[in-house]
Amino acid sequence: MPRTIVRLKLAGVVAAALVAAGVATGPAAQAHDRTPTLAELAHRHGRYFGSATDNPELTDSAYTKILGREFDMITPGNGMKWYATEPQQGVFDWSKGDEIVKLARANHQRVRAHTLVWHSQLPDWLTSREWTAAQLRAVLKKHITAEVRHYRGKVYSWDVVNEAFNEDGTYRETIWYKTLGPGYIADALRWAHQADPHAKLYLNDYNIEAVGPKSDAYYKLAQNLRAQGVPLDGIGFQAHLALQYGYPSTLEDNLRRFARLGLDTALTEVDVRMQLPATDAKLAEQATWYRDLTRACLAVRRCVGVTVWDYTDRYSWIPAVFPGEGAALPWDEQLEPKPAYSALREALGR
């Protein structure tokens, strides 16, 4: 081997050793030295760390920079909902969802698609008239088939049915349930599976983090669906938590019982809101919740990842929907990391 090449190789080995030892050796080494992102930390556990995002925010470049760097899974907060994707009957508009899928691709991120069947954010044409069961079934099948086909091969998972149960574990009396009966859930899963056999299919809901009547309803439903061979892959625990209601301390046990059914689980819409003003004490308490919920997911093998419902208080949905509450996310309105961010790193870093 000519001497110059030996020298170059040796120089490379020395540089690599310096990098391994944490010694900065110039601009090229900085990429290796910087602190790992939440996604990188989660990846070491075979998990993802995600964030929701929404189209109007994508013009904020300070925001998109962190979104593209820190996360490896993206959920469109609104862009794939029915009102956005089928604003008139049979007229489909994929522009909002496509924009987010494209951005995620550019950042090498996967997409948790959200959501196909829900009672909220439906277009007027759907809610402003009566439907026979046969008509509504056809409308639902067409919507699911068109949307899942459009995103086939482009998304990791679908929240197929969102928020199907009441707090007491009875079925929510939605347009779907009232017109079609409880079988709409199995139908929706089957239609989604036909349209994209590789997407992971989820049921998703809030207030199911703890063991209780609502999560019991999902447990029984999941058991039945699995027994019937219905294509269900996972349960999404939204985890819209609030300091004033207490931490759901049975979360880990709850995730585990679903894993035993052979299902994936995920924390899909995490935020931890508080009554404003935020104080240091509340932010510290919030941080322990973020740490603990992340640890709970890491403790259960089938818990595949955690997604925050956007990452910054600048774009949180909380203040608009829960007056007087907010400060729910790991970054503040100035895009500065809060104690919750360090707590996430701590939980993922172990």
Question: What number of other Cβ atoms are within 10 A of residue 16's Cβ?
Answer: 13
**Considering the complex, what minimum distance in angstroms separates the CB of residue 85 from ligand XIL?**
13
C-beta closer to ligand XIL: residue 63 or 317 = 317
Owner of token pair 């998109």: 64
- Choosing from 269, 333, 336, 346, the catalytic residue is 269
Decide: 71 and 109 in contact? Cβ < 8 Å: yes
Count residues binding ligand XIL (CB under 6 A): 6
Which residue has its beta carbon closest to ligand XIL? 317
Owner of token pair 């609502």: 214
DSSP letter for 119, please. Answer: S
Q: Which member of 53, 85, 238, 265 binds ligand XIL (CB under 6 A)?
A: 238
**Considering the complex, what minimum distance in angstroms separates the CB of residue 159 from ligand XIL?**
7
Question: What number of other Cβ atoms are within 10 A of residue 228's Cβ?
Answer: 9
The pair of structure tokens assigned to 175 is 């347009």
C-beta closer to ligand XIL: residue 51 or 254 = 51
Q: Interface with ligand XIL includes 162 (CB under 6 A)?
A: yes
- Give the relative orientation of helices 280-299 and 251-260 as an angle to the nearest 10 degrees: 20
Q: How far apart are CA 188 and CA 116, in angstroms?
A: 8
C-beta closer to ligand XIL: residue 218 or 298 = 218
Residues 51-80 that bind ligand XIL (CB under 6 A): 77-78
Binding pattern to ligand XIL, positions 77-106, x when CB under 6 A?
A: xx----------------------------
C-beta closer to ligand XIL: residue 298 or 307 = 307
Q: Which member of 63, 202, 219, 317 binds ligand XIL (CB under 6 A)?
A: 317
DSSP codes, 303-345? EEEEEESSSBGGG-SHHHHSTTEE--SSB-TTS-B-HHHHHHH
Q: Tell me if residue 163 is catalytic.
A: yes
The pair of structure tokens assigned to 91 is 């007229």
Q: How far apart are CA 155 and CA 265, in angstroms?
A: 17
The pair of structure tokens assigned to 103 is 């951005």
Q: Tell me if residue 167 is catalytic.
A: no
State which amino acid sits at residue 288.
Answer: T
C-beta closer to ligand XIL: residue 119 or 154 = 119
Per-residue burial over 313-329, b if 16 or more Cβ lie within 10 Å, else e, is: bbbbbbeeebeebbbbb
**Considering the complex, what minimum distance in angstroms separates the CB of residue 1 from ligand XIL?**
60
- Choosing from 86, 147, 163, 252, the catalytic residue is 163
Binding stretches for ligand XIL (CB under 6 A): 77-78, 162, 238, 269, 317
Which residues carry out catalysis?
163, 269
